[in-house]
Amino acid sequence: MVSGIGCTGRIANYFSCHSAHTTHGRAIPVAEGIKMVNPDKNVFVVSGDGDLISIGLSHLIHAARRNAPLKVICVNNSIYGMTGGQSSPLTPVEMATKSYPAGTPYLPLKIKRILSSFDNVYYDQVKAFDSPNLKQCLEKLYKHQGFGFVEIKSVCVTNDPRIKKAKDKQNAIREIIK
């Protein structure tokens, strides 16, 4: 398992597997190198939208273009959570962030459209709180022979309620995930 920087960066610590924690935006090329020298191993990349879709976007696109045999899981909370709540490349226009309190003025990247331009890529999207579908998506990702990408829609439990000035954090999160 290879992880990048950000909220999901320490995820490999929760699994019993070999892992590498990489620098910002470099999880995919590190994973490709690991796969090249260990072709019999399943190599997973787990990182966030800020890491994979911002500084790591070029690596993501070209790995998909090459149909690199990697399993990529993007935890998309639509925000740069570790640095205070700024907009990410996947932040919806109406979503308030620290950098754009009235909502970001930019359209989010359509990562599904980008990855769907490559015929052999497996792409799926699921909500983090939808356990049955999440399990199915991850099983399909695991079985896919080429490049696979699952986008897990999540929330930033630290910044979303704060930005919305919520007094009750749990209710604020429930509202976000509806």
| 167 CB burial (10 A radius; 0-12, 13-18, 19+) | exposed
Query: The whole model's pTM is what?
Result: 0.91
* Cβ–Cβ < 8 Å for 60, 52: yes
The confidence band for 177, taking pLDDT boundaries of 50, 70 and 90, is low
Task: Say yes or no to pLDDT of 178 above 70.
Answer: no
pLDDT digits 0-9 by tens, 90-140: 998 988 888 898 989 999 999 999 999 999 999 999 998 888 999 999 999
Q: How far is CA 51 from the centre of its chain?
A: 8
Q: Where are the strands (E) in 14-131, listed by range?
A: 20-21, 44-48, 71-76, 79-80, 86-87, 122-127
Distance separating alpha carbons of residues 9 and 30, to the nearest angstrom? 14
pLDDT digits 0-9 by tens, 20-60: 999 889 999 999 999 999 999 999 999 999 999 999 999 99
Give the chain's domains with CATH numbers: 2-176 (3.40.50.970)
